[in-house]
Amino acid sequence: MRVSEFMSPNPLIINPDTNLLQALEIMAERDIWSPLVKSDRILGFLTERDLINNVISQKIAPEQLSVADVMSRRYGVVRPSDSYVDAASAMMKVKSRLVVLEGEEILGVVTAADIARAYASSESKVPLRPYATWSVVKIGIGESVERAIELMRKERIGCLLLEDEGEIVGIFTERDVVKGFLMGGGDYCDPVGKYATLKLITIDSNATLPEAAKLMAENRVKRLPIVSEGKITGIITARDIVEGIWRESTLGIITP
């Protein structure tokens, strides 16, 4: 599958001088949470992690900042005729989202979720096990949002699993922090469960990477807790799938 078939077209493009609060309002209106940042040239992306690390965890009011104060100045480039394997390789090289260019024209952007969606129809039998994270970071459903954000930053992870009386009952993601907590005007003392997703979509530990990609695409999620013998023992993300595509392609196991 070619980039032109799975990219996210008509990307949200924001000027770096835009006030951050205004940018957030535009992002909420479009429901796009990682806009491309461009002035006379492409500069990078404004990501959910940027907002968490540079704004929310610092307790800075967004109206006091510009997009340029917060954004990540990294991006990769792919062409519309490139394959999803090419896109995975480019993403692993720059550790960032990709811009789809034809000449100087911006046609779209590519995220890890886009690449995973393209891979979902693959007949590959590559197991998810080598690419999953086999430790999970948990937090009590009643603990504060402030504590959850501190833990996510400390562990450098994009989600926490919510625990209630010893049972995993939900997931708290970067999207929940930005879209639910920040844009919802939440209080740092609020229980994390107020903003979390309390419906878990899980996958068996013996599943393949394409099966994980398909489940993510069907449910529009980027992370899946992994179940082994009835217990959640790990997690697989869209970025993990991109890494799997890239590594397996270098071995000739996955081809465009």
Beta strands in the chain (DSSP E): 8-9, 13-14, 36-38, 42-45, 76-78, 98-102, 105-110, 138-140, 159-164, 167-173, 203-204, 223-228, 231-237
H-state helical runs in 156-194: 174-175
User: Nearest CA to 158 among 33, 61, 31?
Assistant: 33
Number of domains in the chain: 2
| 135 shares a domain with 163 | yes
pLDDT tens sequence across 70-127: 999 999 999 999 999 999 999 999 999 999 999 999 999 999 999 999 999 999 999 9
Residue 51 domain boundaries: 3-110
CATH code of the domain in which 32 resides: 3.10.580.10
pLDDT at 255 (0 to 100)? 66
| 238 shares a domain with 156 | yes
The better pLDDT of the pair 249, 217 is held by 217
Within-domain flag for 118 = no
Reported pTM: 0.94
pLDDT at 39 (0 to 100)? 96
Within-domain flag for 16 = yes
- Please check the confidence at residue 17 and state whether its pLDDT lies above 80: yes
Query: Among 81, 110, 139, where does a domain finish?
Result: 110
Within-domain flag for 123 = no
| 84 shares a domain with 28 | yes
In the three-class reduction of DSSP (H, G, I as helix; E, B as strand; rest coil), residue 191 is classed as strand
| 65 shares a domain with 139 | no
Within-domain flag for 43 = yes
- Please check the confidence at residue 252 and state whether its pLDDT lies above 80: no
pLDDT at 251 (0 to 100)? 72
User: Nearest CA to 221 among 91, 112, 98, 135?
Assistant: 112
| 79 shares a domain with 35 | yes
Query: Among 110, 144, 167, where does a domain finish?
Result: 110
Rounded average pLDDT over 172-199: 95
pLDDT interval class at 250 (50, 70, 90): confident
pLDDT tens sequence across 124-169: 999 999 999 999 999 999 999 999 999 999 999 999 999 999 899 9
| 133 shares a domain with 105 | no
pLDDT interval class at 245 (50, 70, 90): very high
Within-domain flag for 122 = no
Residue 251 · residue 157 · CB < 8 Å: no
Percent of the chain with pLDDT over 70: 99
Q: Encoding tokens for residue 106?
A: 């911006």
Strand order across the beta sheet in which 36-38 lies: 13-14, 36-38, 42-45
The DSSP string of 119-161 is HTT-----BSGGGSB----EEETTSBHHHHHHHHHHHT-SEEE
